[in-house]
Copies of this chain bind each other. A is one copy, B any other.
Amino acid sequence: MNIVITGGAGFLGVRLARALLAQGTLSLAGAAPAPITRLTLVDRAAPPADLLKDPRVTAVTGDLNELLEEKRTLALVLPTNVAIVFHLAAAVSGECEADFDLGMHSNFAATLALLQACRALQTKPMLVFASSLAVFGDSPEQPCPLVIEDHTLPTPQTSYGIQKFIGEQLVADFTRKGFVQGRNVRLMTVSVRPGKPNGAASGFFSGMIREPLAGLKASCPVPRETPAALSSPALTVAGIIRAAEASMSDWGPRTALNLPSVTATVGEMAAALERVAGPAAIALIDWTPDVVIQKIVKTWPARVNAVRAQGLGLLPAHSFEDIIREYVRENPDAVTLPIRP
């Protein structure tokens, strides 16, 4: 089986690639597990060395829009026998809010071009589209329900959210027309994301845990009572793989699937950090507000009743403390503070 991951050198793309290579097979839409023979990672950056060393991995480096425009590079991104595309590549929320045209290019135009390229294959590949909790948004003129249900109407309050929601609609119609077998998955706020900060407005949800564990200062730019719908990297990747593996009948409608999440306020997140790494950890958090970040983050809902995901066997973390402990286990080299049992 030939698999493509766009954004394959990004944090989630790399994690997804490692998970797929480790499991070795994929049960596409409920079919018998087939061995993964080729994994193409498409990204602006090169993937890490461990992935490049795997004989099944091919890296295609460049701007996705540009790669899809030229016949020669298009054939590298989408080999004719591709069975499934995980479309994770995107400009992040903060970038898209600062640069409207960048978001329209990298999220909107690239998704449409990818769908058209899949359609041109005429083999109806599966396409799992990574949408986002950010399709939901609350504002004084467009109040969002306190609890998001599977059928809640998204009213995005950011360009990133609008672009993801439009992507969902495109995937749905390309699927209905039989051009691809599309599945829309809405990712929750992923924390604790390892590595360095990125341009996502949600970046601090990871940074405020990751940096103190490494003995570094971190900032939390929103008030302590700000809640978030959180999922660990491992559970997020598990949700994406489940979307590919669910049978047609298990999967259900073309509407996007909200992945499970655990709700915690940033105050509760800090308290969990204190239980894991003591008061020295939370003393490293600077609570200076940032109105630009706050303006984006406060529009996102924090309570998601993910009934459909539950039906697919996808459950949230037990607590945010568990998520921190998962990060500590997985990233021992990035943790310098002593950990409490």
Residues of A within 8 A of B (CB): 100, 141-142, 151-157, 159, 162, 165-166, 169-170, 172-173, 176-177, 252-255
Contact = CB atoms under 8 A, between A and B. Distances in A.
B100 A155 contact: no
B165 A169 contact: yes
Contacts of A173: 156, 159, 162
Nearest to A142: B253
Closest 10 CB pairs of A and B: A162-B173, A142-B253, A153-B153, A141-B253, A166-B166, A151-B153, A162-B169, A166-B169, A159-B173, A155-B255
Nearest to A167: B166
B255 A142 contact: yes
A254 B169 contact: no
7 contacts: A142-B254, A142-B255, A152-B153, A153-B153, A155-B254, A156-B169, A159-B173
Contacts of A152: 153
A177 B254 contact: no
Given A142-B255, A166-B170, 6 more contacts: A141-B252, A142-B254, A155-B172, A156-B169, A156-B172, A162-B169
A311 to B, nearest CB: 14
Contacts of A100: 177
Given A100-B177, A254-B141, A162 B156 contact: no
A159 B170 CA distance: 9
Q: Which among A142, A173, A255 has the greatest number of chain B C-beta atoms within 10 A? A: A173
A177 B155 contact: no
A141 B252 CA distance: 6
A176 B159 CA distance: 9
Given A141-B253, A253-B141, A172 B162 contact: yes
Nearest to A157: B176
Contact of A255 (B153, B165, B166, B254): B153
A276 B40 CA distance: 67
A142 B253 CA distance: 5
Q: Which among A152, A169, A252, A254 has the greatest number of chain B C-beta atoms within 10 A? A: A169
Contacts of A253: 141-142, 155
A118 to B, nearest CB: 14
A27 B243 CA distance: 50
